Chains A and B, each alone.
Chain A
Amino acid sequence: MIERKTNWPAMILLILGLSTIIFPLYLTVVIAFKQPSEMTNSISGILSLPKVWSFDNFREAMRVTDFWHSLGNSLLITLVTVGLSLAIHSLMGYALGRNKAKSKFYSFVYLFIVSGMFVPFAILMMPLAKQTAELGLANWVGVILLYVVFYMPMNVLLYSGYLVNIPMALRKRQRWTGLPPGLHTGKSFSLL
């Protein structure tokens, strides 16, 4: 048997960190089930458990926000954005991550794209609102386009940083197995 020792400083830090998450989450759940009349102006009125656990609040909230319609739009925008990001940004990250050490052009493109992270959205907001309206993109297509562009710097940074580390691992593998280069490329692609 391995003797397990409790790391008390880490334990206390983790409990403190966890309580900052658990407490708001508890409040959210409890308040979501309560009736407005139970929310008195005292601490017990906020912290106490609801008298009756009913889903009336949820039903009403779904009606007010037109839940299924909004959920559909949210899901559509999120899933298409994630799909496009994975497809486009991984290709960009691959090209930039592999070439930016050797080529000046690629390292310039890389820095140019990554510097897009420093542009705050508040600056772009007004011109973008006008442009999308004039281009007929004031719908979910325009929102997806904007998201794919806005998260490009971050994602390209992540992908290229990850891919820079791969060639070293593969070269090591080649030394171990002693495969000829042609066979090796096949293997490395299956690894990716």
Chain B
Amino acid sequence: MKPMHATVAVLTALAVWNDVMTPLVILAGSDQNTLPLAQLNFQSQFGTNYNLAFASYLLSLIPILIFYIVCQKQILNGVVNGAVK
């Protein structure tokens, strides 16, 4: 079950982490901004300040990258187990 759990976790986490639409519709106006929602500010507040926006994108990339690397190891482990059995 481990490789499948890891696959599902990666797919779901990636989709949820990067999603803008659902938080935008549901959370708009509350003070519970998610990261993509906070990053929308760069488009209006500063015109086109790509420097700040890209710095922010890089920062928000780190946690999901770590999560992906951890899960990817599980997927590879599962493949190896199956081959040995």
Given contacts A31-B50, A158-B8, contact A143 B59 (CB under 8 A): no
Among A4-12, A68-76, A101-109, A110-118, the stretch that binds chain B is A68-76
Question: Is A129 a contact partner of B26 (Cβ separation < 8 A)?
Answer: yes
Residues A29 and B58 in contact, CB atoms below 8 Å apart = yes
Q: Mark B33-72, 1 if CB is under 8 A from A, else 0.
A: 1111111011001000111111111111001100000000
Q: Tell me the total A-B contact number using a CB cutoff of 8 A.
A: 147
Of residues 16 through 58 on chain A, the ones whose CB sits less than 8 Å from some CB of chain B are 28-29, 31-36, 39, 57-58
Q: Helix, strand, loop or mixed for chain B's interface? A: helix
Contacts A65-B35, A78-B13 given; does A85 touch B8 at CB 8 Å: yes
- Hey, which bits of chain A sit against chain B, CB under 8 A? 28-29, 31-36, 39, 57-58, 60-62, 64-67, 69-71, 73-75, 77-78, 81-82, 85-86, 89-90, 121, 125, 128-129, 132, 137-140, 142-143, 146-147, 150-151, 154-155, 158-159, 162, 192
